[in-house]
Amino acid sequence: MLLFVGLGNPTPDSKNNRHNIGFKVIDSINQKYGLSKQKPKFKGLLTTGNIENKKIYAIKPLTFMNNSGICIRELLEYFKINAEDVIVFHDDLDVDFGKIKTKFGGSSAGHNGIASIDKFIGKDYSRVRIGIGRPDLKISVSDYVLKDFEPEEKDEIEKVTKNIIESISILVDKKLELFSSTVNNK
């Protein structure tokens, strides 16, 4: 049993923000693998199904990015899922645009959504860090992450999302290094 978490903000005007790339990945997983219809549960939108013969729960927290951990903890407690079986998809300023890095545990590196999850469930879970690059000096980090992808960036984001979905069986087996290598080399 695994829990996929996509980080983002639930407002309609946030849909295409850089900060919402985690929501986009969860939506793509739901569509590609025919997970159940999204239902509001545990302060998020929950879907369930099977991928590679493994039970999958996928959630998009509706608590806003900075309180994502509240939603995750409730779900883990209810379904008796271990933190080690959680995989979080989120944006990352410190990863080159359109690339991904994976890791198990570690610091939040200033990402408020990850800091919230760390606070509520600890740090022993997997992360798929999707690169959104750094802003130039003319824009603050908070404005940058809440800004929509530029038209010229959308194709690259679609490509990385598609590569994540096509390689999901590797991630289901928790082969993090192989997963990031496969996605980045497609």
Cα separation, 135 vs 4, whole angstroms: 28
Cα(87)–Cα(128) distance, integer angstroms = 7
| CB-based contact 19:145 (threshold 8 Å) | yes
- 3-class DSSP assignment, residue 64: coil
Q: Which of 8, 5, 137 is nearest to 58 (CA)?
A: 5
- Residue 123 burial (10 A CB sphere; 0-12, 13-18, 19+): middle
Do the beta carbons of residue 59 and residue 6 sit within 8 Å? Answer: yes
* Choice among 7, 8, 19, 161 that is catalytic: 19
111 is catalytic: no
Strand-pair partners of 13 = none
Active site residues: 19
